[in-house]
Structure 1
Amino acid sequence: MRKSYLKILGLASLLTIASCSLDDDRVNFQYTPLHITNASLPDTFELGRVYTVDVNILRPDDCTLLDQFDVRRSFTDSTQIRTVSAVGITLDKEDCAEVNDELQDGFQFEVLYTKSYIFRFYTGDDTEGEPEFLEIEVPVKE
């Protein structure tokens, strides 16, 4: 009896899983870079402190939402470079209205090095498809 019950339960589970389908009621999305229009940083950093970096971001339509910031690190002998991109989520919908809203958001940044920091904020691509950046240098005082 127990073996029959397990066979029926297994068959029912298999049919339930097999009957699931992906239909058009689900909302799909894609990640997209958003243009940063402005950033606010202090004139100098103090070693060991944590700062909030305020950023203005252009939201092109009502189907696009800000998701996160991507901060990539590189350096030279005399500076620490941080390349900052705003990552948005764009919903796959056909009826998106253009809004061109400017959103304000920010992220926390901890000063760990005594060398100057150069922030490169992604502002979009030029006419040839090359990325453009707003660059702000902030020296560190010990």
Structure 2
Amino acid sequence: MKKSIIIFSIVILQGCSVDDNSNGIIQDLAPITSVNIPTSFIASKSYEMGINYERPSSCHYFAGLDITQKNNEVTIGVVNHSKTSSSNCSKSGDLSKTTSLKFVVERNDFYIFRFWKGENSLGEDEFIIKQIPVAQPDDE
């Protein structure tokens, strides 16, 4: 998944890499399990999207969103941090968390959202894909 950030994200991050353990911090993408997103947008309005994700362990905490936009396609990943010195971490129990994204509609046609949900058995990225049409304000 590309690692660039766009301005409308709720959190500004540096590029994310699982190998970035400077200062004893590891950054991981956490699989998104579901999203709460409108079925349509109105041009020039803003919307709050709910994003549910699964932390890899109890020692991981939310660090921000990794968002890439190219034309009408928006790819979103949840970034978690953990300390390399963390011990006593559990990989079971309730590791589910929710975050949100405020999104401002700037296009007049449609968006394709790709929410990163992990890798398949071949190591390929998989996504929850939502195509959302955009209506004009007077079409309400």
TM range (shorter): 0.7 to 0.9
1:73 to 60, 69, 74: 69
Unaligned runs of 5+ in 2: 1-22
Q: How many pairs align?
A: 112
State the Cα distance separating 1:98 from its structure 2 match.
1.3
RMSD: 1.2
Letter of the aligned partner of 1:85 in structure 2? G
Task: Report the TM-score when normalising by structure 1.
Answer: 0.75
After TM superposition, the runs of 4+ consecutive aligned structure 1 residues lying more than 4 A away are none
Unaligned runs of 5+ in 1: 1-26
* 1:81-104 deviation line (CA, Å, top 9, x unaligned): 000000110221233111351101
Partner residue of 2:27?
31
Partner residue of 1:95?
88
1:122 to 101, 116, 122: 116
d(CA) in 1 for partners of 2:74, 2:107: 13
* 1:14-66 deviation line (CA, Å, top 9, x unaligned): xxxxxxxxxxxxx7211111100001111110001010110001012111011
Higher helix share: 1
**Which structure has the larger Rg?**
1
d(CA) in 2 for partners of 1:39, 1:97: 25
Task: Report the TM-score when normalising by structure 2.
Answer: 0.76
d(CA) in 2 for partners of 1:73, 1:49: 18
Percent identity over the alignment is 24
